[in-house]
Amino acid sequence: RKEVEQDPGPFNVPEGATVAFNCTYSNSASQSFFWYRQDCRKEPKLLMSVYSSGNEDGRFTAQLNRASQYISLLIRDSKLSDSATYLCVVNLDSGGYQKVTFGTGTKLQVIP
Amino acid sequence: ETGVTQTPRHLVMGMTNKKSLKCEQHLGHNAMYWYKQSAKKPLELMFVYSLEERVENNSVPSRFSPECPNSSHLFLHLHTLQPEDSALYLCASSQGKRGGSSYEQYFGPGTRLTVT
């Protein structure tokens, strides 16, 4: 089983649609979780952290289910500018630095 | 954004060349990372430095040699590379916290390496 698994997509959705991405992780000791966004030929950039209580940032909502080792990202009212690859990231704090594992990413294409 | 910078941005090198990639972070972080990103593959963590000490080396071939002279600079020395080493090499930094929750990483723009 991969350490972090994501559906690679692509997800092709019309503008204004709601889209959800899922991610599962294998190490139950993982401590922190993030969603990053990577545009084509650019570096990954932090989208949002994921907290157990769930958190929202504008049109984006992230959820964590530790019991099921599952993370989700919901995007409401999709914009063309949301087109990118969304990377699920799982961290394990290891004495002052993070052992970081990236998922393969889910590609989103928002269509006019 | 200039939090993490990388040079060069593009590099083409032959298999017998020696070159170095440079990363500099201006964020006051205490941990730095090298990643490799190949087409259609997830980011692969190569090396981690925490407080200038190498703390992780993920079975990377010896033709890749990292160096961290201080907490703001990280190098990746390359020699006798293979064509399959062609990829985007990304540097990142973070502020680690002992015993606490992990902080997010900030990435540089990457060096796109082509080995001919």
Confidence of residue B24 (pLDDT cuts 50, 70, 90): very high
Q: What pLDDT score does A41 carry?
A: 84
- What is the DSSP secondary structure assignment for residue A34, as one 8-state letter? E
B107 chain-A contacts, CB cut-off 8 A? 43-45
pLDDT at position A111 over 80 = yes
Pairing assessment for the beta strands A60-65 and A70-75 based on DSSP bridges: antiparallel
**Closest Cα in chain B, distance from residue A14 (Å):** 25
- Exposure pattern of A38-56 as b/e (b: 16+ CB <10 Å)? beeeebbeebbbbeeeeee
The H or E element spanning position B111 is strand B111-115
Q: A100: which 2 tokens?
A: 């970081």
- d(CA A69, CA A3) in angstroms, rounded, equals 11
Average pLDDT, chain A: 91
Most confident of A26-35, A91-100, B6-15, B54-63: B6-15
pLDDT at B96: 66
pLDDT (0 to 100) of residue B39:
84
**Measured between beta carbons, which residues in chain A are less than 8 angstroms from residue B109?**
42-43
Which residues does A72 contact at the CB level (< 8 Å), separation at least 6?
A20, A21, A22, A23, A62, A63
CB-based contact A94 B55, cutoff 8 Å = yes
For chain A, the residues whose C-beta falls within 8 A of a C-beta of chain B are 4, 31-32, 34, 41-46, 49, 87, 91-105
CA B67 to chain centre: 10
Under 8 Å between Cβ of B22 and B6:
yes
